[in-house]
Amino acid sequence: MQGKTPKVSALWLSLFVSSSLLSGCGSSGSSNPAEETPEVPELTCEAPLVLNEAGDACISEETEQPGENTNARQCVANPFEGTNIYLRGGMNSWAANEDYQFTYMCDRFELVSELSGEMEFKVADENWSTTSNWGGDDTTEFSEDQPLSLVLDGANLSYAFDGTYKLILDATASAEAPSLSLQSCTDAPFAQTLYLRGDMNSWAASSEYAFSYYCDGYYLNVDLADSYGFKVADEGWAETTSFGGDPASEAVLTEQQDYSLLSDSNAAASTENLNYDFDGAYTIKLTFADDGSMPVLNIGPQTWVQTGVLEVTNSIALSAHYDSRQLANKTPFGAVPAGDNVDFSFTADSGIESAELVIESRKLEGNQDILEYTEITRIPMVASEAGEQQRWQASYTFENVQVYGYYFVFHVAGESYVLQNNNLAVYETAERGAGGEATVAYLPEDSKAIRRYRHSSYVPDFTIPDWAKDAVYYYIFPERFRNGDTSNDPTPGVDSYHGDNIEFHSNWIDTPWVPGDGSDEIYSNDFFGGDLAGIIEKLDYIKSLGANTLYINPIFEAPSNHKYDTSDYENIDDNFGSNEDFVRLCAEAEARGIRVILDTSLNHSGDDSVYFDRYGRFDGVGAFENEQVRSDSPFYTWFEFFPEETEIEKQFTGWVGYATLPEIVESEGWKAFAYRNEDSVMNQWLDRGASGWRMDVAPWVTNEFWRDWRTHVKAHDPQALTVAETWFDASKHLLGDMFDSTMNYIFRDAILDYAAGEPANELYHNFELMRENYPPEAFYGLMNLLSTHDASRALYQFGYNSADQDSAVIEQAKQRLKLAVLFQMSFPGAPSIFYGDEVGVTGGEDPYNRAPYPWADQGGNPDDQLLADFKALIALRNNNPILRRGSIDAPVYVDENCIVLLREYNGAYALTAFNNATEAKTLNLSVAQLANSQLQDLINNNSTVTVAEDGSLSLNVPALYGTVMLSQ
């Protein structure tokens, strides 16, 4: 489940207490979000903090109101630019030592150092220059917290040091007579590293967002440009070191104002997400009392500089070159079958003394909650001549099915360097580095700071069902697609939602309801009446669109409108129809060449279920019958209970803290019921006609479970497709031992950003990462998304937010959607159409992205022209096998606006080109494979282009669109 502010680039783990968290699984949730906000005592503040005017935050008494902060630091240019300034004295034999070099920070120089004993010292540059050699005036004693005006060529200063100190040299008033002050530092209150965890980094504990403890607090510099929700926490979300806002406040931070935080252990409920509208470079400072209490966060302009980060200047070290996608550096390309040997090499100027290839085992668990590398071996590399350079080579056989890490260490002139993955971000993925060209850095003391390359080693005979490579998904949220049988409609006063009443829309084209809009105060309990009969009724429509695979969100018995809170895995929800209706749906779909993929969660059920029965509504004995732990229940071993807890909702574990979604333990009994027995849940529905499964919240389930699950599902039906819901780099799930495919959110985020106008050359690495890291079988079967039930619709992302907008804005949004669909239909993988996208349905965050399909006979206004465009683009894919199965290499051409790709299949070529600029582009290309070819433009009037003998051609690419050209 996700937060209430959807982001194209960070949707996976939001901790907001919001409508979407309560309205359907399938994206993410917090490590500890609150399902309901209980009453919280009135906020009180401990000195020196006071309550702000709104009464919802503790701030510094001295803090000015917004716009009135006269004490804000104003950064100025370094007055001694080009000159290094040092503390020189008894602590370093009066030398200009880099360990005692001041760092310029915004408007002053700072140095933090551990010092001990009575020492004399001065402040000076490396050469004791007459303009940069300061001391005292012989009349004033240097003391802590009292700035001392220095004088040029002054007397030695003296102080009895006993600890760690910050020295501040301030030259803003006078460069000739700067002031020097001394401040005692305190130890970090926690041994654990603290991280900024939020929408900006998929809520992961990523090294790029690790706070550094510096004298008096934790500091972090960020460069962000959007509104983000976030918290501060350690790697494991420990209650004592997970900090957020007061649950009773909205926790919106103001620049340069102190905000008092609460730890999860001190909050009356899960702490609230902090929220800030970033717009550039900032320093985030977090301070505590000496005992770790009273956390205070401040966000302001970037005034702090991380010390101790050295820039590599050695020319030999900087000449080291490695590119994981070049066969000259890594052979064979990309993911390889387990047991195969891989050759590695990098080049550099002569002068490297030795080099090693480091191979590591990678451990990734949960929602990127644990990421660890363990060294397996360190292989000495052998040098050979490579023209004017040297080539360093090593080989390794990757025996196991897993994702490995690797990097290179080399040594020059007594220094050690690491040749590591780049610092590129991958959508939804906490770990930095997208493969491709490496970067060089000094070898860090802490190996966690190294950015590993990832290498995928997969099951040698891994295949996916062949039909999946030709799939075009039509993706349905069943409650909102079509009401084909009004007799099974949910009925207020009869049907209930966790003991509360439900709501029913008498108007099919209503906007979904949420608390605060005039409906009741409950999420996920408003219904429109969509059902299986409605899907059956529209199968001909789906076939006419060109889709051949239905992916349907959960349809099993459940109280909510999203059905991820399963009550009964063995029966269709009675508001959707019956088990017989499902059999009929599959039969009717098969008659039209359409397969059906079902969706469920094996991580959690609903609390209002046969198995848990918290409310005592079902026959038999549930594991938590009437809120009593029942060890005599046949389902008791499916759940973990904590009967010693006095609060009901703490007596069991809810998925990411949601009591309505009790987590299922991976017990033997559960596995037998879910997939091992001949009449297991998986087998029952496959036998009734389903062609595969999409598994909800896959990262929250163990690898061992999925491996066993896959073995049994494939044994029952080898042609059943297995799809994971993962938002981040899914490499570990796609190695042939767990899943065939994944919901491809990396694709979604990248193509939506591109079609919205973001620079192509700054995001295409996301596609390249998948091409490199995913086994080919999985890569060609990826479920390539645009819109989903867990994220804002594509048109909304492109600016179509309301029917009242200027028509030109709406039309441009639709043109951007067509550009995205063109790319989707001509790129490897299986495209997915979320119901209604094809007729112009828009909508922001859940539940508005789940609006009903606007059928004309129900008062809707579908965009028939857009529908025709969708049909044409889907037909383009269906009619040309090269667009479904053709190979793909690195881009032929990428610039800020344009992407040009080459596909090959059975000796034929397809050249696809895309342009996200608002004006047409003419590209002069060179494609040796197409020399002397005639290319037919399948998009623009079937015109032809002749490629010259040397492979050169001039290509016109229309604005906000593209072209597909086939060789003749």
- Owner of token pair 């809120």: 627
What are residue 165's phi and psi, to 5 degrees? Answer: -135, 155
Which residues lie below 8 Å from residue 460, measured CB to CB, with a gap of 6+? 337, 338, 339
Distance of CA 171 to the CA centre of its chain: 43
β-sheet bridge partners, residue 331: 343
The CA distance from 413 to 277, in Å, is 47
The CA distance from 134 to 726, in Å, is 59
Percent helix, strand, coil in the chain, to 5, is 20, 30, 50
The CA distance from 797 to 819, in Å, is 13
Q: Return the number of other C-beta atoms located less than 10 Å from residue 54's C-beta.
A: 9
Residue 563 region, left (φ>0) first, then alpha (ψ -120 to 50), else beta?
left
- Owner of token pair 């073995």: 711
Determine the residue type at 28.
S
Closest CA to 800 of 780, 820, 785, 783: 820
Distance of CA 754 to the CA centre of its chain: 17
**Is the peptide bond preceding residue 332 cis, with omega within 30 degrees of 0?**
yes
Closest CA to 715 of 769, 674, 678: 678
What is the H or E stretch that residue 685 is in?
helix 681-687
Neighbour-count burial of 446, counting CB atoms closer than 10 A to its CB (0-12 exposed, 13-18 middle, 19+ buried): exposed
Which residues lie below 8 Å from residue 236, measured CB to CB, with a gap of 6+? 192, 369
- Owner of token pair 């919901």: 743
The CA distance from 548 to 855, in Å, is 21
The CA-atom distances, in angstroms, between 777 and each of 737, 832, 887 are 13, 18, 12
Decide the pairing of beta strands 934-937 and 217-224. unpaired
β-sheet bridge partners, residue 166: 112, 183
Q: What angle do CA 654, 698, 436 make, to 5 degrees?
A: 135
Residue 90 region, left (φ>0) first, then alpha (ψ -120 to 50), else beta?
alpha
β-sheet bridge partners, residue 901: 912
β-sheet bridge partners, residue 966: 910, 936
The CA-atom distances, in angstroms, between 715 and each of 114, 682, 686 are 64, 12, 12
Residues taking part in catalysis: 696, 725
What are residue 895's phi and psi, to 5 degrees? Answer: -135, -160
- Collapsed DSSP state (helix, strand, coil) of residue 41: coil
